[in-house]
Amino acid sequence: MSSPNWPAVTAEVVRHLQALLRLDTTNPPGNETLAAEYLAGVLRAEGLDPLVLESAPGRGNLVVRLAGSGQAPPLLLFSHTDVVPAEASAWAHPPFAGEVHDGCVWGRGAADMKDTVAEQLMVMLLLKRQGVALKRDVIFAATADEEIGGPAGYGVAWLARHHADLLRAEFALSEVGGYNMDFAGRPVYLIQVAEKGTCWLKARVRGRPGHGSMPHQDNAVVHLARGLRRLAVEGLPYHLTNPAAGFLEAASRAAGASPMGRLLHSLKSPVEAERAFQVELKDNDLQPFLYALLHNTATPTGLAAGYKTNVIPAVAEATLDGRILPGFTTDSFLAELRGLLGAQFEFEVALEAPPLQITHDTPLFKLMADSLRAHDPQAAAVLPYMMSAATDAKYLAPLGVPTYGFAPMKLPPGMKLMEMFHAHDERAPIEGLGWGLQVLYDVVTRYCS
């Protein structure tokens, strides 16, 4: 069997990406059925048998399967078709037109994550066209409602509740990983093996009400301000989890004897890490990423107190976006937060999701790493990493389906994938997309045939 004609296949994946970007699946309201029907049409035309499953009117999920011999359990590729809103006037090119400029396809979802939808679609088409003899089923799911979702969402959470059998697999591949980051002047590739849990909450503190003309020491607004200052200045304690240790180990090896290599190595010690975050890393681009890797975090994102200028209110509260490391629970996280803020704070949890981690000691991880290195000989390393935000992987984990973040993409120098997520001027480099498709096809064919 001859290998695919990659320039032609790249042009084809670009066309699919453009078509997907032109379908407005802004969530809310979503309207992901537009994307699901588009994908179903393409798949049907090539003899596959896709299902479009609506969890609510307009909230379509697409699932399609290429059957293997059953010698090995299935592999699931999944990606979400909804996007966050775009403020068109702030973009250099319109966000729902799928235009090509400067070697990139522009549009809301070009990085998060219609690029991957198009890549995964193309892998299915190629497996079918090339007549690849599969020893395991390959499943592709293009799903709704990742951006708002939650446990009662219309996408993966709904599929997992109502159609679990369609998704059961040994492993799943989805966002966020398989892309390059500049690291001490050389590209390293990241594969997601863990993600932090979520705990959104209100932190509330009470005091003594009174007249604003007579300040006293038991003012709820002042108590809250002091607490938030402690959160900003001291932060929550350092913790070295297994995924973080694995990352720092591999990253410091990759950076070698450079100052960055020594710095990364030093982050494995709590004392040295504290100094590094205050001094060497203070203004470094990597600081937020590395800090989140080593700490539970609680970021103040809202404030509420008071109703009249001359009244000291009885209550003040802050909205906190809490993110929890593997190994922690909501309770142990809240205990840590109470330790910092003080016993007078009350917490009201609004949303929680547990952290996830899977081992990188698997043949599939090795295959992904080998394939990235083979396709980019410049790569300094492939690093297992923990993402600070959450994905739909958390709804598959309870079904026994662990997910690696692997949506390969090669970014040109200076382009940062995560900075384009939810931002203006989101775009996908065409060369990098074609490159990523080859990597993904390579991994899937080698793992499944």
Phi (first) and psi of residue 434, to 5 degrees? -60, -40
Q: Which of 12, 82, 112, 336 is catalytic?
A: 82
* Closer CB to Zn ion, 137 or 147, in the complex: 147
361 is catalytic: no
Q: How many residues bind Zn ion (CB under 5 A)?
A: 3
Residue 421 CB, shortest distance to Zn ion, in Å, is 7
3-state secondary structure 80-144: ECCECCCCHHHCCCCCCCCCEECCEEECCCCCCCHHHHHHHHHHHHHHHHCCCCCCCCEEEEEEC
* Closer CB to Zn ion, 407 or 439, in the complex: 407
Using the rule CB under 5 A, is 112 a contact of Zn ion?
Answer: yes
Which residue stretch of 18-26, 175-183, 248-256, 412-420 sits at the interface with Zn ion (rule: CB under 5 A)?
175-183
* Closer CB to Zn ion, 380 or 440, in the complex: 440
Cα angle 370, 403, 441 (rounded to 5 degrees) comes to 45
Q: Which of 145, 146, 195, 392 is catalytic?
A: 146
Pairing between β-strand 60-66 and β-strand 51-54 as defined by DSSP bridges: antiparallel
Residue 146 CB, shortest distance to Zn ion, in Å, is 5
Residue 153 CB, shortest distance to Zn ion, in Å, is 13
Which residue stretch of 56-64, 118-126, 127-135, 171-179 sits at the interface with Zn ion (rule: CB under 5 A)?
171-179
* Closer CB to Zn ion, 149 or 227, in the complex: 149
Which residue stretch of 124-132, 174-182, 209-217, 407-415 sits at the interface with Zn ion (rule: CB under 5 A)?
174-182
Residue 27 CB, shortest distance to Zn ion, in Å, is 11
Cα angle 51, 435, 373 (rounded to 5 degrees) comes to 115
Site for Zn ion in 389-428 (CB under 5 A): none
Q: Specify whether the backbone of 77 is left (phi greater than 0), alpha (psi in -120 to 50) or beta.
A: beta
Pairing between β-strand 356-357 and β-strand 297-305 as defined by DSSP bridges: unpaired
Using the rule CB under 5 A, is 113 a contact of Zn ion?
Answer: yes
82 is catalytic: yes
Tokens of 175: 């966002």
Cα distance between the two ends of the chain: 13
Angle between helices 114-129 and 430-448 (to 10 degrees): 50
Q: Would you please indicate which residues are annotated as catalytic (active-site) residues?
A: 82, 146
Q: Please give the residue ranges that form the binding site for Zn ion (CB under 5 A).
A: 112-113, 175
